[in-house]
Amino acid sequence: MFTQIRNNRSLHKLSALQKKKLVSWLFLLPSLIGVTLFFVAPFMVVIYYSLINNPIQKEFVGFRNYVNVWKNAAFQQAGSNTFIFSLMAVPLAVLLSLFLAAVMESRIPFKSYFRTFFLSPLMVPTASVVLIWQVMFHQNGIVNNIVSVFGGGRIDWLKSDKAYIVIVALFLWKNLGYNMILFMSALASIPKDLLEVAALENANKFQVFWIVKVRYMSSTILFVAIMSLISSFKVFREVYLMTGDYPYQTLYLLQHFMNNTFASLDYQKLSAAAIIMFIVVTILVYAMYAIENWFGKDLEG
């Protein structure tokens, strides 16, 4: 009889808990509906479109759309430009923001002002500074004025093969502060006794930094790298606002390709291109995640 009561009670308890769990699902409902309607369901349609010949005949063509997009000269140009840009921008973003965080960790005066200054580009809308960028990187612009003082020749930066340098610089300008804050909070969260042990074992500063701190921050480094990769795709804003729909060929990015494909309403090309990008981004993020797991495994184990 006693056990029965206990059973009853636990049954009652369980159902109350279940009720609460059910209620907690209700909180998710508005977002689930919206996300399904605007992202998940249409994404399924995108997959479907990428596999058929056109939305009217709806004939299944396998991977032909993918092959067509992959062989498309404009897509190749845009894809390789974007890829090369990200390959340069992401490691630089990680290293330089780590450097800035280290600067902020050391003893310097007016620290909180420096933090404000470094973070300030985050709030500046691209449209607001684009005029200054144009003034700087034009044929007759400021950067060339400086370069020519040191004996360099004038080039029209945005219409040259060196245009990469410009957009990498603009990307770093906007994103370093944000990354720096992430690294600052990670540096602050390193346990003091870990550093004390390192000091006891006569580790020099170099070792402390690279073996203890960087290793301890590996998950933050991963996060910064992933966020930088994602924001590197947004550099289109700077490029578009400076050079419009058809920039110099080294600045022709995937977003330009997508915009022009949207304009021609080529659903198959659009869908296949989106899926290819989805796969590439997923692979890149997964690879970074795997590297971090391998690198930081003995810390967690």
Partner 1 sequence: MSAQVNFKTRDKKKKIQINNLKTILVTVAAVVFAIIFLLPTILTITNSFMSASEINANYGSIFATTEKGGKVFISKTVNLKFIPDMVTFSQYFTVLLKSPEYLFKFWNSIIYVVPIVAFQLAIATLTSYGFARYQGKVKNAIFFAYIIMMLMPYQVTLVPNFLVSKAIGIYGTKWAIWLPGIFSPFAVYLLTKFMRRIPTEVMEAASIDGADEWYIFTRVCLPLCKGGIASIAILVFFDYWNMVEQPLILLPDSDMHPLSVFLSKINAGEISLAFAVAVIYLVPPLLIFLYGEDYLVEGISYQGGIKG
- Min dist CB 1 to partner 1, Å, is 27
User: 230-236 long-range contacts, Cβ below 8 Å, gap at least 24?
Assistant: 231/171, 231/174, 231/175, 232/85, 232/86, 232/89, 232/90, 232/93, 232/171, 233/82, 233/86, 235/85, 235/89, 235/167, 235/170, 235/171
Q: Which is nearer to partner 1, 98 or 176 (CB)?
A: 176
Q: Which is nearer to partner 1, 1 or 263 (CB)?
A: 263
Nearer to partner 1, 3 or 257 (CB): 257
CB of 99 to partner 1, least distance (A): 8
CB of 28 to partner 1, least distance (A): 4
Write the DSSP assignment of 109-171 as a string of letters. TTHHHHHHHHHGGGGS-HHHHHHHHHHHHSTTSHHHHHHHHTTPPP--GGGSTTHHHHHHHHH
Smallest gap from Cβ 57 to partner 1, in A, equals 18
How far out from the chain centre does Cα 262 lie? 23
Per the listing, tokens 């404009």 go with 74
Contact 87, 80 (CB under 8 A): no
Question: Distance between CA atoms of 187 and 103, rounded to whole angstroms?
Answer: 12
Of the pair 72, 219, the CB lying nearest partner 1 is at 219
Write down the least CB distance from residue 294 to partner 1, Å: 14
User: Least separation, in Å, of the C-beta of 243 and partner 1?
Assistant: 9
Whose Cβ is closer to partner 1: residue 143's or residue 198's? 143
Nearer to partner 1 by C-beta: 131 or 211? 131
